[in-house]
């Protein structure tokens, strides 16, 4: 795999090479390219790499650490019972040959406890940081651990020289990963895989995206058939409550309110639900949103499954696992012709647009005008249906930009104007003094009448988001 799409992060890290005893923290969901970024950064530098073991005890983690240290430094250190003892071994090695220390999958190494952070801080302050040309990288795939137990901990707070939260590729970056794809295949890949580098790397060498998905997602032991268990178990072990929440959200692509999650999942409101939801969000599996017209402290919150692969898995792979295991009769190419896929794809396109909202604002051009961006929604009440609008730009010049998002293989006609008009009327209740400016963002073809309609301020083809 060539180094693609992480040039900004690599540049951000490069400044640390001239800094004495630097500390960097890199975190992001699995498959996002953290280890690859670190290897690229350190490819011409002396470094000692350690990786934690998933689901192993402290005793096993320490044994693994010593094993890796002995192997990389040709040493014969004995096993220890504490992290402070283990880290002190590094002093003996680094005094002879200074190097970068990389602690990868740090949350596994420490069994999700802050004890390892405190002991590392003590050894670093008293011993390792006094050795010239020794620096430290802490890397992890569990954002909640890396932020609360490392970045914001008493031991490390304010001590890091660089913090990088590695995220999924946007469309422009994904295009570099799959340069042979046409525009439509690129959009489909982004909607199905969400810009995860590992997934794009897996599919790019196939003749087509659909061929790749057939091979990797709809054959027994295909990579995407088993990926859910790999990434979910690595984050949350065997805790069934997490799966219950994801199961509930997967059935409701437009999200659920907290009360609805309790009803759907059967999880007690006082049984750690808030913590579960925060952990799922920090892992990148779900998003927690509030209406654009409410403050960040509002209790009006909605939760939805935002990970593209998980959404695709729940919609098409999980329901068909039995058939997939029986043989090759089921193909994604056939499923993609069904109405259920087109409906799923519509919601996936809306998620894609939400993820590229900054690009949309750039296309619309709000020079010098402050704005807030987000969804607008209200829960249904007795005799009053709910409403949800995925993207609204609330500008300080009292203009409200309402984005209507549409994808279709059929011609998109002027019928969307009626849908926009209904949403405008609903918005006027909350924004009676605002000018409401309709914008259409579409994937597909639109009719000449719609293209020429003065009712819609601007029409943005999905191609423009790349």
Q: What is the DSSP letter of 18?
A: G
Task: Give one DSSP letter per residue of 375-432, joined into a string.
Answer: EEEE--BTTB--EEEEEEEEETTSEEEEEEEEE-SSPB-THHHHHHHHHHHHHHHH-T
User: For residue 120, with 0-12 CB atoms within 10 Å meaning exposed, 13-18 middle and 19 or more buried, which class applies?
Assistant: buried
Quick one: which H or E segment has residue 369? none
pTM for the model stands at 0.90
**Distance from C-alpha of 204 to C-alpha of 441, rounded to nearest angstrom:** 27
**Distance from C-alpha of 95 to C-alpha of 88, rounded to nearest angstrom:** 11
pLDDT at 1 over 50: no
Quick one: which H or E segment has residue 330? none
Residues 6 or more apart in contact with residue 165 via CB below 8 angstroms: 27, 28, 143
pLDDT at 96 over 70: yes
Mean local confidence (pLDDT), 47-74: 96
- Mean pLDDT check: name the lowest of 140-144, 202-206, 208-212: 140-144
pLDDT at 303 over 70: yes
| pLDDT tier for residue 47 given thresholds of 50, 70 and 90 | very high
**Distance from C-alpha of 389 to C-alpha of 375, rounded to nearest angstrom:** 6
| pLDDT tier for residue 232 given thresholds of 50, 70 and 90 | confident
CA–CA distances in Å: residue 371 to residues 261, 325, 398, 403: 31, 50, 10, 14
| pLDDT tier for residue 172 given thresholds of 50, 70 and 90 | very high
Residues 378 and 291 sit within 8 Å (Cβ to Cβ): yes
Token output for 38: 């670190």
Tens-place pLDDT, residues 366-416: 877 899 999 998 877 766 677 889 899 999 999 999 999 999 989 999 999
Mean local confidence (pLDDT), 74-80: 96
Mean local confidence (pLDDT), 319-343: 88
**Residue labelled with tokens 């999958």:** 105
Mean local confidence (pLDDT), 285-303: 91
Q: What pLDDT is stored for residue 119 in this prediction?
A: 96
Q: In terms of pLDDT, which residue wins out, 234 or 200?
A: 200
Return the axis-axis angle of helices 83-96 and 115-126, rounded to nearest 10°. Answer: 30
- Helical segments of 129-196, H only: 143-145, 171-177, 183-193
**Distance from C-alpha of 335 to C-alpha of 346, rounded to nearest angstrom:** 15
What structural domains and CATH numbers belong to the chain? 7-165 (3.40.50.300), 172-351 (1.10.10), 356-465 (3.40.1350)
CA–CA distances in Å: residue 218 to residues 160, 194, 195, 319, 335: 44, 19, 20, 11, 11
User: Among 35, 48, 47, 85, which residue's Cα sits nearest to residue 63?
Assistant: 85
CA–CA distances in Å: residue 329 to residues 113, 323, 334, 342: 47, 8, 10, 21
pLDDT at 181 over 90: yes
pLDDT at 144 over 90: no
**Distance from C-alpha of 299 to C-alpha of 3, rounded to nearest angstrom:** 43
Q: What pLDDT is stored for residue 384 in this prediction?
A: 65
HSE toward the beta carbon, residue 339, CA cutoff 13 A: 0
Strands 435-443 and 458-461: parallel
pLDDT at 154 over 90: no
Q: What pLDDT is stored for residue 176 in this prediction?
A: 94
pLDDT at 2 over 60: no
């Amino acid at each position: 795999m060539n180094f693609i799409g992480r040039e900004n992060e690599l540049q951000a890290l490069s400044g640390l090479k001239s800094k004495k005893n630097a500390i960097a923290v890199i975190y992001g969901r699995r498959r996002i390219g953290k280890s690859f970024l670190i290897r690229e950064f350190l490819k011409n530098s002396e470094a000692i790499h350690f990786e934690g073991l998933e689901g192993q005890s402290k005793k096993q983690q320490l044994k693994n650490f010593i094993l890796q240290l002995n192997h990389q430094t040709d040493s014969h250190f004995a096993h220890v019972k504490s992290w402070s003892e283990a880290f002190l071994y590094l002093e003996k090695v680094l005094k002879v040959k200074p190097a970068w220390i990389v602690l990868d999958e740090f949350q596994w190494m420490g069994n999700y406890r802050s004890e390892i952070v405190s002991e590392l801080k003590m050894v670093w302050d008293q011993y390792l940081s006094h050795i010239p040309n020794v620096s430290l990288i802490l890397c992890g795939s569990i954002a909640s651990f890396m932020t609360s137990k490392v970045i914001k901990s008493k031991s490390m707070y304010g001590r890091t020289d660089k913090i990088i939260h590695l995220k999924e590729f946007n469309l422009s970056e994904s295009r570099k990963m799959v340069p042979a794809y046409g525009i439509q295949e690129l959009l489909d890949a982004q909607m199905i895989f969400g810009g995860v580098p590992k997934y794009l790397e897996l599919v790019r060498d196939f003749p087509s995206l659909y061929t790749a998905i057939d091979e990797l997602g709809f054959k027994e032991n295909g990579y995407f058939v088993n990926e859910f268990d790999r990434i979910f178990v690595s984050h949350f072990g065997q805790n069934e409550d997490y799966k219950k929440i994801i199961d509930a959200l997967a059935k409701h692509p437009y999200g659920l309110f907290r009360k609805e999650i309790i009803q759907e999942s059967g999880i007690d409101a006082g049984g750690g639900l808030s913590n579960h939801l925060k952990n799922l969000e920090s892992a990148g599996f779900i998003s927690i949103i509030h209406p654009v017209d409410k403050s960040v402290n509002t209790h009006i919150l909605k939760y939805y499954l935002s990970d593209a692969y998980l959404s695709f898995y729940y919609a098409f792979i999980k329901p068909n696992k039995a058939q997939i295991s029986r043989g090759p009769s089921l193909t994604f190419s056939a499923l993609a012709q069904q109405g259920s896929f087109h409906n799923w794809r519509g919601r996936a396109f809306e998620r894609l647009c939400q993820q590229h909202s900054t690009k949309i604002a750039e296309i619309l051009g709000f020079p010098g005008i402050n704005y807030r961006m987000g969804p607008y929604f209200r829960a249904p009440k007795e005799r009053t249906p709910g409403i949800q609008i995925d993207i609204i730009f609330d500008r300080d010049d009292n203009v409200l930009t309402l984005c209507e998002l549409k994808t279709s293989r059929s011609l998109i006609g002027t019928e969307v104007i009626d849908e926009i008009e209904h949403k405008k009327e609903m918005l006027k209740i909350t924004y009676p003094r605002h000018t409401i400016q309709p914008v259409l963002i579409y994937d597909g073809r639109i009719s000449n009448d719609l293209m020429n309609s003065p009712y819609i301020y601007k029409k943005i083809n999905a191609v423009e988001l790349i």
